[in-house]
Amino acid sequence: MSPNIASFLRLADDELVLGWRNSEWTGIAPFLEEDVAFSSIAQTEIGHARAWYELAAKELGTDADALAFDREPDEYLCAPLVEMRLVDEWARTIARHWLYETADRIRIQVLLNSQDREVADLAEKIDREETYHRMHAEMWAERLREEPRFCEAVDELWPYALGVLTEEQRPLLCQAVDRSDVEAIERGGHTDNLSPLWEEMTMVRRSVPGASW
């Protein structure tokens, strides 16, 4: 796999899996307004996943759906951070959301300067929506700043958040959230959370293999 394709798939898998996890709050978020906002964020993450899958699919001669749903769980390149099922713990969900969006910004910043026009254009489009995600994440982080459950969750998830980025991007994340570097929980391995998520996520598609939906 070319380094380009692998990097698109890392992004796409992160966005798809996180979008899926965030969507688990639909209907049960702490209050109605937040339910709508967080569901919408989940939906745009999945939209971004589709866009990155399409770029990869063009080079691999396949399509976005096949990449999203026809691979085995251990073929996914997502970071362990996005896999965790946090659906009954809002403070942890927000801690992840905030850490992920902050890390994602650093990654998108690099892509905005890509030599590849198509990649730079897509990054720009995605960044416009991510601006809203960041605003949402920041306002929640600010509100929960002194909430012990939020602080504990940020401590717990910090090594996972570092694992979203490449080694050379990590100092920027440390700076952005004012935390020191620790040993990252790297991409490549998966948590036990991925497999049940994959079962659910691909269930319908696997029920009729090869169908055109």
- Interface residues toward another protein, by CB under 8 A: 30-34, 36-37, 40, 132, 135-136, 139, 142-143
User: Given the complex with another protein, which of 69 and 132 has the nearer CB atom?
Assistant: 132
Nearer CB in complex with another protein: 142/192? 142
Cβ proximity to another protein, 32 vs 208, nearer residue: 32
Instruction: State the minimum distance, in angstroms, from the CB of residue 32 to another protein.
Output: 4
Distance of closest approach, residue 145 Cβ to another protein, in angstroms: 13
Between residues 9 and 94, which has the closer beta carbon with respect to another protein? 94
6 closest CA partner among 48, 56, 67: 56
Closest CA to 127 of 145, 144, 152, 109: 109
33 versus 192: smaller Cβ distance to another protein = 33
Instruction: In angstroms, give the least distance from the CB of 27 to another protein.
Output: 11
Residue 94 CB, nearest distance to another protein (Å)?
Answer: 12
DSSP conformational letter for 26: T
Helices (H), the chain: 3-23, 32-60, 64-69, 80-83, 90-112, 117-144, 148-162, 170-177, 194-207
CB of 139 to another protein, least distance (A): 4
Q: Is the dihedral of CA 187, 135, 144, 44 positive or negative?
A: negative
Measured between alpha carbons, how far is 20 from 109 in angstroms, rounded to an integer? 24
| Contact status, residue 173 vs residue 103, Cβ threshold 8 Å | yes
- Tokens for 179, please give them: 């935390």
User: Whose CA is closest to 196, among 87, 98, 58?
Assistant: 87
CB of 154 to another protein, least distance (A): 19
Residue carrying the six token digits 């416009």 = 128
Residue with tokens 């939020």: 150
